[in-house]
Amino acid sequence: MKQLKSLLIAALLFIGANQTMNAQAKTAHVDVAEIMTKMPAVIEANKQLTKLQETYAAEYKTLTNEYAAKLKKYGEEEATAGDKVNQDRAVEVQDMQKRMRDYSENAQKELQQKESDLLKPIEEKVKASIAKVGKAKGYQYVLNSAGLLLADGPNLTADIKKDLGF
């Protein structure tokens, strides 16, 4: 009877220890920022965005140069031009200011939309790769190490890079 009691207690302890081990979730971490900055598709997207930004900047510079030239010309001719001409020029200058503001705002919106269009599929691909590698390695949680104060567990960054092909 004593042996049966001892065996029963040992079995309960074993089951309890097994439940405790199963209750602990397996976690790993990955440096998403490192992946995103070194991924060839992101580098290419950034080149496209830089080129588009340079195009917008050049067009805006042309507008500002035209604006500055007209201001200078109108300032020099203000004393000799009539009141009606000066009023028309003032309206023209205000219209140019509005066009420049509108152009700047639209360029910014278009640039942000282009960035979203280019990077969203890449981000989804990285997220899918993280899920795939994490599940394949038996992890229940994969955390982004960017916000972690202590990342002592396994780092899957190299595995994710390998899965993504770089």
Residue whose tokens read 């009539």: 82
Quickly list DSSP for 79-108.
Answer: TTS-HHHHHHHHHHHHHHHHHHHHHHHHHH
Q: Is residue 125 part of a domain?
A: yes
Q: Do the domain assignments include residue 10?
A: no
The CATH number of residue 132's host domain is 3.30.910
Residue 125 is part of which domain span? 25-164
Tell me the helices (H) and strands (E) count for the chain, helix number first. 5, 2
Domain count, the chain: 1
**Residue 1 located in a structural domain:** no
Instruction: Give pLDDT tens digits for 30-84.
Output: 999 999 999 999 999 999 999 999 999 999 999 999 999 999 999 999 888 889 9
Q: Is residue 5 part of a domain?
A: no
CA–CA separation, 15 and 91 (whole Å)? 85
- What is the arithmetic mean of pLDDT over 107-115? 97
In a domain, 141, yes or no: yes
